[in-house]
Amino acid sequence: MTPLDRAALHKLRGRYPEMVASCREALRKNPGHRSAESMLARALESAGELESALEHIRSVGSRRALDPDIGDALVTVLDLLGRDEEALEAADGLLAAKGVPAPIRRRTGLRRGRILERRGELDAALDSWESAQKELPVTFDPDGFDRRLDQVAAAMPAPEAADAWQAASESSAAPEGTRPIFIAAMPRSGTSLLERMIAAHPSVVGIGEAAMVTETIREHRELLGDDQMLGLLKADRETTARLRLEAARRARELAGDTPYAISKHLQNWMHLPTIGRWFPSAPVVRLVRDPAATAISIFGQDLPADRMPWVTSLEWIGRVLATERRFVELVRPKLVNPWITVAFEDLLQRPEPETRRLLGELGLPFDEGCLAHHLAESTTSRSGAQRFMPTLSLHQVRRPIDPTLAHRGGAWSGRMDAFHRGFDERAS
Decide yes or no: CATH 1.10.3210.10 for domain 142-427: no
Separation of alpha carbons 354 and 285, rounded Å:
13
Write out pLDDT tens, residues 369-391. 888 866 665 544 444 434 455 55
DSSP assigned state of 227: S
pTM of this structure: 0.87
> What's the rounded Cα separation, in Å, for the pair 281 and 309?
33
Fold of 2-133: 1.25.40
Helix, strand, coil shares, percent, the chain, to 5: 65, 5, 30
Average the pLDDT over each of 23-27, 294-298, 390-394 and give the range with the smallest value: 390-394
Instruction: State how far the Cα of 282 lies from the Cα of 280, in Å rounded to an integer.
Output: 6
Any idea which of 148-152, 220-224, 258-262, 326-330 has the lowest mean pLDDT? 220-224
Contact assessment for residue 209 and residue 262, using Cβ atoms and an 8 Å cutoff: no
- Pair type for strands 339-343 and 260-263: unpaired
Q: Quote the DSSP letter at residue 380.
A: B
Residue 54 exposed, middle or buried by CB count within 10 Å (0-12, 13-18, 19+) = buried
Distance of CA 229 to the CA centre of its chain: 21
Kindly report, residue by residue over 180-215, the tens digit of the pLDDT: 999 999 999 999 889 988 988 989 988 888 888 888
Q: Return the minimum-mean-pLDDT range out of 84-98, 120-134, 283-297, 395-409.
A: 395-409
Q: What residues does each domain of the chain span?
A: 2-133, 142-427
Q: What percent of the chain has pLDDT over 90?
A: 60
Q: What is the mean pLDDT of residues 9-37?
A: 90
Q: What is the mean pLDDT of residues 349-368?
A: 94
